[in-house]
Structure 1
């Protein structure tokens, strides 16, 4: 019953991966390299899936936030948007000269600085840093559908035996 249901599901809906493990790697690049090797050897890679196991959300702190940095970033982002709007206005206002560009630039900077200040001030010092987030896994398993799993496992084992320093 569940097999027929899984086969009738559209491919874009989330579903657990299926297949047998044919390789396990510490980094995504190694798993990708393994699948690339299979593809180079004319292996049916449509049967292969790379699965990140034990995912973690890693947040890397880039810098401390200050009022000066917040207002400067707001002014710079607003300047780009204001410049864009000013250029559009000057294109559709013949004979206006640089006035629409300057007004757009100043207005964009002003509004963006106000919005940045309100956003930063509303946090009341709770998040005084800039960071980037990334989803990573402890290891990456390469799975293959059972019909080709044994052959794929042998091919990856031969690759690892030929190039032990690369793995």
Structure 2
């Protein structure tokens, strides 16, 4: 029976930071020092999802959001069809028709989507995933060099 010690994903830790921009700056500094950054990995630990509620979702907002999304698609399709229009007036007609159809279908699909939730989620929100710590990891064969570079950088930054 053979025993092995597994290495953490990404190698060994050469630095640990509270925010992603700090970890990114550390890797950027390694790059500035001509360190082969293809040996480096940033790993976020203790992940959590933060959902920020941005407002109440009503029939009007659901239909309006659907209409706006549909307008963009309709405008896109209208412009594509307008490329093949024989004259300037038919080009404008193609764009306006695509826009109008897009608004109508977008509003319809927005209403259907809102109705399908049956009041289970009557709010809008944005979400993001953050970590409580970001570790800069490195291939073991280059880890000591990376630690030395980051230690000098840390002393200069204080």
In the TM superposition, what is the alpha-carbon distance from 1:142 to its structure 2 partner?
0.8
Residue 143 of structure 2 is matched in structure 1 by: 149
Matched with 2:38 is 46
1:130/1:38 CA distance change after superposition, 3 Å:
same
Deviation at 1:50, TM superposition (A): 0.9
1:22 alignment counterpart:
14
Q: TM-score, with normalisation over the residues of structure 2?
A: 0.82
Partner of 1:11: none
Whether the 8 Å contact between 2:43 and 2:137 is mirrored in structure 1 is: yes
Q: Aligned partners of 2:36 and 2:96: how far apart in 1? A: 59
* Equivalent residues, number: 151
Q: How does 1:59-138 map to 2 (within 5 A)?
A: 59-94=51-86, 97=90, 98-138=92-132
- 2:47 match: 55
Deviation at 1:39, TM superposition (A): 1.3
Deviations 1:40-87 (A, max 9, x none): 112222221111111122222222211111111112222222233334
Q: Are 2:134 and 1:140 equivalent residues in the alignment?
A: yes
Q: Unpaired runs of 5+ in structure 2? A: none
Q: Determine the C-alpha separation between the residues in 1 that align with 2:82 and 2:37.
A: 54
CA contact (8 A) 2:10 2:40 kept: no
Cα pair distance change 1:18/1:84, threshold 3 Å: closer
Q: For each residue in 1:127-157, what CA deviation from the matched residue of structure 2 results, as whole angstroms up to 9, or x when unmatched? A: 1122222221110001111212122112212
TM-score (normalizing by structure 1): 0.79
Q: Distance in 2 between matches of 1:149 and 1:22?
A: 6
* Higher mean C-alpha deviation, range 99-108 or range 47-56: 99-108
